[in-house]
Structure 1
Amino acid sequence: MTRSKVGVTIQSTSIFLDDRTVVLSEAIARKWKVPSNHMINMRFGSYQQDVKVVTAAVPNSLRVDPALASKIGLHQGARLTINYKPTSNTMSIGPLIGVMISRVNASSPSRPFGPITTFCKELTDACDQMGASVCFFPPKEMRANPQSLSAYSYANGTWSKRTFPIPNVIYNRLTSRKYENLPNVQQFMKDVKSRYGTEIFNEKYLNKTEVFEALRKDSSLHSYLPESYLFKNFPMLKSMAARHGVLFLKPITGSLGNGIIRIRREGLGESYTAHSTSLAGVRRQTYPTLLAVFQSISGKLKTQRYQIQQGLDLISSEGNPIDFRALVQRGEKGEWEITSIVGRIAGSQHFVSNLARGGSLSTVPAALAKASFTTTAARAAIIRRLRKASLEIAKGIETQIPSHFGELGIDLAVDRSGRVWLLEVNSKPSKDDNTALNTDNTKNKIRPSVRTLVKYARFLAKQ
């Protein structure tokens, strides 16, 4: 799509009669055939108003009245994409992207959104470079039947709260199911989609049971799926233990490796060892029978649902398991593409690879080399399988789960024979763990994953 960018100038001059007149660069008006001294419909997000366009010999500029700028959240120096459609006599600027965030700490002006503030600033910079506008808002700002939105934006070195129209596109970065399921949040999402045609992506969390049950419906994905079910009772545990020497119990809504239990049969006897993760570390306990294992964990089953999953004979480095995180995103054409894949090596004494538990990142070739895949050909073959699995699983999620996702964190594993397995799919992938390694860490560098988010938002907004 051909695009033009304009810099927004907020200025009241004698040429203005009121906030219904805007001044546009002659060159831009000529390129898009915008009629001068005529009324057209100007749109920004859900806002639309008839304005008179006056042209002037200033390069790449859109001058607006302060009253209009304040009404729709435009700031001095904003750089926005502009296009004009003569069939509807509409000039669109933007797009306006909204990001749902969990909380705002107004007492911390430099980090109002906590750890995610750096990502929000990076997304703002990407939007500025790519001709979009972005604002951020927590659950308390989401209401039924909204006509506008109170949200935060970064401009001229500070974060401030402004009034915005309803965005063209909303990206759900709520990091808590509790917030996501609030009645006002659910009603807000329903209303903006139905009233304004707003596109919302990553609109919900995925849980492990939902993912595996959905993907099992696609026979082409079966080779990636370890045996895995919603854990129900002791007979299920006994049946799975009869088929697999190692089992994992994973909280279906867990994250960061919290609460995972690994159950391993010891030798040919009846004893079992259970390793469990918690915030304090890994706890190891041995039981004389499988029934004793079940009795020890039955209390947890009353407060948390678990997925029971076949253990895999994974590749490792010095005894530490290795897995892989693929960040798969939709790009400027709306199609799934792989932004990055990184290797994750579990820390000493841990059986999960999360960085929060002492894991470390590695490039994929380096991780495979540590796992004794020493030839270039062997490593290349596995990398191809990881990439193929990532894209096929993302497309499987799109097909089998009736929700809109624009990015997925897909955790994969490789066994000692080189076969690729799916561990889990995360619809709220971390904005820290997925950075490709060995990149230039220049200050203010914008990661490819952030640029891709903006490209997809522009695709959804058709701008």
Structure 2
Amino acid sequence: MSTTKIDVQVISSSILSEDVLMLAESAIKQLKIPTQQQIMLQFGSFRQSVSVAPVSRYQGLRMSFALARKMGIENGTTLRLQYRPGSKVLALGPLIGVLVSREFPEQPDKPFGAITMFCRELTDACRKQGAFVYFFTPSAIHTTYRSVEGWIYTTKWHRATVPAPDVVNNRLTTRKLENMPVVQQFLQEIKQRYGASVFNEKFLDKSEVFDALKHDSSVQRYLPESHLLRNYTMLKSMCSRYPVVFLKPVRGSLGKGIIRLSKAGGEGWQASFTTTAGTRRTAYPNLLKFFSAISGKMKTVRYLVQQGLTLIDSGGRPIDFRALVQKNATGKWTITSIVGRTAGSQHYVSNLARGGTLATVRESVAKSNLPAARRGDASSRLSRAAMEIARSVDTFIPAHFGELGIDLAMDTAGRVWLLEVNSKPSKNDNTPLNEGKIRPSVRIMIQYARYLSGF
């Protein structure tokens, strides 16, 4: 359905009635909008009956201050306009709401802390595409679920009452917030009442991902053997097959709490624990002693026990890869970026939070111990794996995802392996964030939101 991008001019309510819109004649002709009769104006969850009056030699949309205030928009806002003749609805949008974990109202220049610059970047990109974005926390949701107290950026950050959005990008960073009744109820209500879309609906557990993808023959070759660690028998069985195994917290992130368990001669085993300061190593005379040492922790932390891999490295520092995979303007998965990540000197995990460094795939492979014969097609093999895994997640996990951070590894034979799938990928793991620069990942997110909302 055709849309047109238009600038909104807000004028005094004493000049223009709240139920009248003044619109460029060219837009009225292009979209076949009826004039001088009642139609329904829609903006997210907002609905109001209006009539449209044509204006010659003018290219924008004029509305009264009273109407603009109800909609939460300001003079100079750029939006897309669409007329749906079947329902006689004049839709403005898309209205995008980004659900974030925390706000810092005492910091007017940085109300979202470290992600404020990303929020600014998203605002700038929306303005260019004719979309409207606001940011809100769980505490900002109104009890009617029709509106929220959103943060909007114009010349500075400010709060405004805005309608529930057409599309929600869930960027909550904790399961506790995500599972709050007010959040779950809000998302359910806006989907049912207003036909809203919500993407990146939920966190992914490591065990959930590996268990689901086992059912897909097209991605099985990427999956290291993995099981939920339930007892000593399971650990002993895995350790009898592999000289190295990893214990990963099912709900961990940023490499926290990962244990590398390796054979240390005779009956002995060495456990390497990730800490903020580096790797702490402890020797155990046998496997049972190690299991006894962690069994107390297992009461509160569920572990995935996973086959250890002989990954490519650079000077003993393991290398892995983060693929950012997103749905695009036609709703199809696409590779936005793949970067190589080399572990810090004191760590065996590559996360930036643990001192890891970023480089291109080509640079990472060139400095690694991967045989020269396997280097040329490394990038295409990683891309193919990321795309196949994203499609598999879509098929086998019952939730709506619009972007995924897929962590891949390559062993010294050149085989690609899946390490983890992250449904809340960091925006700082692809290209560096510079003031005024809009990254492809941000542009694609808005294109997908437009696809979902029909704009």
Match of 1:3 in 2: 3
| Number of the residue aligned with 1:44 | 43
Task: Report the Cα offset of residue 152 of structure 1.
Answer: 1.1
Ranges of 4+ aligned residues in structure 1 off by more than 4 Å: none
Match of 2:437 among 441, 445, 448: 445
The aligned amino acid for 1:459 is Y
Q: Structure 2 matches for 1:5-404, cutoff 5 A?
A: 5-12=5-12, 16=16, 18-143=17-142, 145-155=144-154, 157-267=155-265, 269-373=266-370, 375=372, 378-404=374-400
* Inter-partner Cα distance in structure 1 for 2:428 and 2:2: 33
Q: In the alignment, is the contact (CA less than 8 A) between 2:371 and 2:413 conserved in 1?
A: no
SS of structure 2 residue aligned to 1:10? strand
CA distance in 2, matches of 1:319, 1:58: 69
- For structure 2, which runs of at least 5 residues remain unmatched after alignment? none
TM norm structure 2: 0.97
Q: 1:413 aligns to what?
A: 409
Q: Which amino acid aligns with 1:84?
A: Y
Residue 442 of structure 1 deviates from its aligned partner by: 5.8
Q: What TM-score, normalized by structure 1, do the two folds share?
A: 0.95
Partner Cα distance (2:245, 2:374) in 1: 28
Q: Is this contact kept in 2: 1:231–1:307, CA < 8 A?
A: yes
Cα deviations across residues 215-243 of structure 1 (Å, max 9, x unaligned)? 01112211000000111111111100000
1:139-167 Cα distance to aligned partner (Å, 9 max, x none): 11235541222211111x11111111111
Q: Are the equivalent residues in 1 in contact too, given 2:13–2:66 (CA < 8 A)?
A: no
Count of aligned residue pairs for this structure pair = 455
Out of 46-55 and 390-399, give the one that drifted further.
46-55
CA distance in 2, matches of 1:270, 1:143: 61
Q: Distance in 2 between matches of 1:167 and 1:153?
A: 13
Tell me the distance in 2 between the aligned counterparts of 1:456 and 1:45: 16
Deviation for aligned residue 1:297: 1.4
Secondary structure, counterpart of 1:37 in structure 2:
coil
Separation in structure 1 between the aligned mates of residue 434 and residue 148 of structure 2, nearest angstrom? 34
Matches of 2:3 and 2:165, distance apart in 1: 19
Distance change (3 Å), C-alpha of 1:418 and 1:137:
same
Aligned to 1:153, the other structure's residue is in SS state strand
Moved more, 289-298 or 35-44: 35-44
| Distance in 1 between residues matched to 2:136 and 2:94, nearest whole Å | 17
Q: Distance in 2 between matches of 1:71 and 1:58?
A: 28
- With over 3 angstroms needed to count, the CA separation of the structure-2 counterparts of 1:182 and 1:306, relative to structure 1, is same
Q: Secondary structure at the match of 2:377?
A: helix
Amino acid at match of 2:325: V
- Greater shift, 227-236 or 87-96, is seen at 87-96
* SS in structure 2 at match of 1:116: helix
Q: Secondary structure at the match of 2:289?
A: helix
Q: Provide the C-alpha distance between the structure 2 equivalents of 1:217 and 1:144, rounded to a whole number of angstroms.
A: 41
Letter of the structure 1 residue corresponding to residue 112 of structure 2:
F
What do you get for the CA RMSD once the two structures are aligned?
1.5
Q: Helix, strand or coil for the counterpart of 2:219?
A: helix
Distance in 1, Cα, partners of 2:305 & 2:117: 36
* 1:403-433 alpha-carbon deviations (Å, 9 max, x no partner): 0000000000000110000000000000111
In the aligned structure 1, how far is the partner of 2:69 from the partner of 2:186?
A: 23
Q: Secondary structure at the match of 1:443?
A: coil
CA–CA distance in structure 2, aligned partners of residues 220 and 178 of structure 1: 34
Deviations 1:46-78 (A, max 9, x none): 112121111213443111100000001111111
Cα distance in structure 1, aligned partners of 2:262 and 2:278: 18
Give the whole-Å Cα distance in 1 for the aligned partners of 2:435 and 2:276: 33
Asked if structure 2 preserves the Cα contact closer than 8 Å seen for 1:145 and 1:192, the reply is no
Shift of 1:198: 1.0
Letter in 2 for 1:378: R
* Distance (whole Å) between structure 2 residues aligned to residue 442 and residue 200 of structure 1: 28
